[in-house]
Amino acid sequence: MDISQRSLGDLARDIPGATRVFHAHRLDFCCGGRHSLQEAALKRGLDPGAIASELAGLQAAPGAERDWRGAGNAALVEHLLARYHEVHRQQLPELIRLARRVEQVHGAKPDCPNGLADHLAAMQQELESHMQKEEQVLFPLLTQGRRQLQAPIAVLRFEHEQHGEALARLEQLAHDFVPPAGACNTWQALYRGLAQFREDLMQHIHLENNLLFEGLAEAGGAGSAAAPYQPEGKAQVAVAVTGEGAAVGRPATGCGCGGSGNGRGGCS
Ligand SMILES: [Fe+2]
Ligand SMILES: [Fe+2]
């Protein structure tokens, strides 16, 4: 099939390095992974043929990026936990701290991302709750070889879409992570960290949606892309699976600007 007619999720799964190309062109391959390359590129005013050529080049000369197809659920789950779950748990408290500092010091400036720290704190809570569902129920069942997991996977896919919406709001609040001229080091560090967080979260969701969950669907046992989300199932699964409402610490609201600031722009 012509590359441009294939879905972004398929391409991200099948061509190691494709996600880098999608990030560069701002194409959503995780939550928006069901759209074809042509459809997604045209929507952003891009040339699908040019992007297809970039991807074809990757296929001809594959890079060092690991191909997770065929790695097995246990290895993929181990990677998801170490590379994404633990990393998000380190990233978010620091990003919240930096955002609070920038808002406190620069709140009166027109480009200041006011509301960003609260938005990040809400994302942290949502993500923590979501990751606990995966860690406490779904991943153990998967690695034990259980296959009838349609209900929890439908819920997790739905939550991934919510994460995607939260990322879009994050980009909007933080002006697409482009700091204004003369931004202090804290502000620059914040936006660099946000860009990395966005990339990590999209890759995280891609590996779950397009490899882990899709692999189960192909094996005939789990909710595929076509599985409808059942709102009434969410609470049922959440309670059964996670004991939703488990204590999830909100980050401290106080901040001291550490590390990256050099005093310019009022940050220490
Ligand atoms: Fe996850
Ligand atoms: Fe997830």
Residues 194-243 pLDDT 10s: 999 999 999 999 999 999 988 776 665 554 433 333 333 334 344 334 43
How far is it, in rounded angstroms, from Cα 65 to Cα 13? 12
Ligand 2 midpoint to CA 104 (Å): 32
Query: What is the 161 CA–ligand 2 centroid distance (Å)?
Result: 10
Alpha helices by DSSP H, listed for the chain, are: 8-14, 18-25, 37-43, 48-60, 73-79, 86-106, 116-133, 139-143, 150-173, 185-206, 214-218, 231-242
Quote the CA–CA distance of 186 and 204 in Å, as a whole number. 26
State both tokens at 201.
């979260």
pLDDT, averaged across the chain: 80
Cα of 258 to ligand 2 centre, how many Å?
31
**So what's the pLDDT on residue 243?**
39
What is the per-residue pLDDT for 221?
54
Cα 84 to ligand 1 centre (Å): 7
Average pLDDT over residues 102-110: 94
Q: Which domains does the chain have, with CATH numbers?
A: 3-60 (1.10.3910), 73-266 (no CATH)
Ligand nearest to the CA of 159: 2
Between the CA of 171 and the centroid of ligand 1 the distance, in Å, is 21
Task: Please check whether residue 94 is in contact with residue 193, taking contact to mean a CB–CB distance below 8 angstroms.
Answer: yes
32 contacts 40 by C-beta, under 8 angstroms: yes
pTM across the whole model: 0.73
Ligand (nearest to CA of 30): 2
**Confidence check: pLDDT of 154 > 80:** yes
User: What is residue 233's predicted lDDT score, i.e. its pLDDT?
Assistant: 37
pLDDT level of residue 115 (50, 70, 90 thresholds): very high
Residue-level pLDDT at 256: 29
Comparing 46-55, 166-175, 181-190, 229-238, the range with the smallest average pLDDT is 229-238
What angle, rounded to 10 degrees, do the helices at 150-173 and 185-206 form?
160
Is pLDDT above 70 for 87?
A: yes
Distance 224 CA to ligand 1 centre (A): 17
Residues lying with their CB under 5 A of ligand 2, a single-atom ion = 208
Instruction: Give the closest ligand to the alpha carbon of residue 213.
Output: 2
Across-strand partners of 7?
36
Q: What percent of the chain has pLDDT over 90?
A: 53
